[in-house]
Structure formats: C-alpha cells, structure tokens
Amino acid sequence: MLRGTIFLHTTRYNTCSILINRCGSSKALDIEKLEQETSLDVIDHDTTAKEEELERKRNKSRLNINHRNILHGKPPYTESKHPFHDTLKYKRKMYGRYGASSGIDVQLCWPTREELADILEYEKVAYPRTILEMINIAKEKRAENQAKILEREEQIAKKILKLDAWIKELNIKTAKKQAEAQEAKERKEKLIEDVRRHFGYTVDPRDDRFKEMLEKKEKEQKKAMKEARKKAKEEQIVTRILAKQDEQKDETISQNKEN
C-alpha cells in the first residue's frame, strides 16, 4: 500500500493494480477495469470470437503458446504456471524484458522500506567507515611504517659508527685467546718433556709412573705460577704506593713554593 504513494513514474503506466503480496501471483481483480471490458465486449462479442477462431486457424506454427509469445515479443505466460513465476526476480525480469506489456507493477523493481532497511543495515556493517576516515587510517598507517623504517635506519647508523672499534676489539680478543691457547699447549709440552727427562728414557704416557710424575710436575708448575702471580701483584702495589708518595711530595713542594 505504501508503494502507491512512494512512486511516481514517467510512463503512461498509471493505472496499474497494486499488488498486496510481492511474491504472490498477479490475479488481483480490478473491478472497474473488468466492468469496462465486459461492457465493451457485449457489443461485439461475436466479432471478437470470430476473430479469435480465425487467429487460431491461421496459426499453423505448431509452437507452444509460450514459445509463440516469446517469438512475438510478448511475455510467455499470462498467468503463473510455476512457483518460480511468483518470485520477485522473475517478475522484475518480465518487466525488464517486456516493459509495461508484461502487466507487472513497476513498483516491484525497487526495494520496499523493510528491504531498504535490510540493505542499509548490511552496508553499515560492510562499509563501517566513510572515505575520509579510511584515507586518514591509510595515512596513519603509512606514517607509522615510515617511522619504523626511520627508527631502524637510525639504529643501524649508530651501530655502524661503532663498527670499527668492535672489529678491533674482536681481533684483539681472538688474538689473545689464540696466544693463551698456544701458551697452554707449550706449557703442557714442556711438562711432558720434563717428565721424560726425569726418567731419562721414553716412557709410555699411559704408564702409572708417568702419570704420577706428571701430576707432581703439574703441581709444581702451578705453585710456581701462583708465586709469580703473587709477586707481580706485590710489585704492582709497591709501584702504586711509590707513585702516590711521589705525587704527595710534588704537591707539598708546589704548595711550599706558592707559600
């Protein structure tokens, strides 16, 4: 019923019957129209019947009525023959193809208020943002990515400044490690040599006596090393104290001179 007030169309199609059910068949009766038709029919009922009979006889095409209708550019069915013929899609299609002659109410082409509400709800979910909002989001994202890239580049630049020092450090470290390893190796060799010399002849290194001797020598060597370290430490302390004393002396001298 709403539709009657909703649409105003530009065609000669003004006296269309309003369908109550969009998906029902189009058999609503227009009483006024029927009356007019019947009143017209009464006058030349015989002639029209004759004409129809003639038409029927002339039609030798052997085509189905629906096929013949299609061939002559008319809608194939005048009434619904199949549940599909009552669907909105079919009716719209019939209007689209056969125009006003299809007898379909043009109002059916557009969604009803309820359908429109459904469409709007769908669009609200599917397209929640406006174009401007989307553009702003894209801009923010781009800026964020750019900031990330810049930050990373800065980090790399900072690290590259230190790179030479790091390489030098690493080289020193590895050299020191190597030297230590070499020293340890030499020390071990020397030990074994010492043990051999102690026995005066070549002894199997797996021999118990050899092992005992080796342990002993090792202990001795460790002791010697410990002492050497102690001595070095003491020497260091002594030099430090001396240096301090020298400084104090210098300071007193300078103070005296100032006074």
Question: Of 83 and 205, which has the nearer Cβ to another protein?
Answer: 83
79 is a site residue for another protein (CB under 8 A): yes
Helix (H, G, I), strand (E, B), or coil: what is residue 255? helix
6 is a site residue for another protein (CB under 8 A): yes
Binding window for another protein (CB under 8 A); candidates: 83-91, 152-160, 208-216, 242-250: 83-91
21 is a site residue for another protein (CB under 8 A): yes
Judge whether 59 and 69 are in contact, CB under 8 Å. no
Nearest distance from residue 52's CB to another protein, in Å?
A: 21
Closest of 62, 63, 119, 69 to residue 94, by C-alpha: 69
| Rounded CA separation 52/59 (Å) | 11
Nearest distance from residue 204's CB to another protein, in Å?
A: 57
DSSP letters of 125-175?
HH--S-HHHHHHHHHHHHHHHHHHHHHHHHHHHHHHHTHHHHHHHHHHHHH
Binding window for another protein (CB under 8 A); candidates: 19-27, 147-155, 202-210, 224-232: 19-27
Task: Give CA separation, 153 vs 45, 74, 131, 164, in Å.
Answer: 96, 73, 33, 18
Unique residue bearing structure tokens 């309820």: 114
Interaction mask 175-214, another protein, x per CB under 8 A: ----------------------------------------
Question: Of 86 and 194, which has the nearer Cβ to another protein?
Answer: 86
10 is a site residue for another protein (CB under 8 A): yes
- What's the gap between Cα 112 and its chain centre? 38
Judge whether 242 and 234 are in contact, CB under 8 Å. no
65 is a site residue for another protein (CB under 8 A): no
Question: Of 104 and 195, which has the nearer Cβ to another protein?
Answer: 104
* Selected binder of another protein within 65, 116, 237, 242 (CB under 8 A): 116
Unique residue bearing structure tokens 């005048």: 78
Dihedral of CA atoms 140, 146, 152, 157 in degrees, nearest 10, equals -140
* Selected binder of another protein within 22, 66, 69, 106 (CB under 8 A): 106
27 is a site residue for another protein (CB under 8 A): yes
Site of interaction with another protein (CB under 8 A):
6-11, 21, 24-25, 27, 79-83, 85-86, 91-101, 104, 106, 109-111, 113, 116, 119-120, 127, 129, 131, 134-135, 137-139, 142
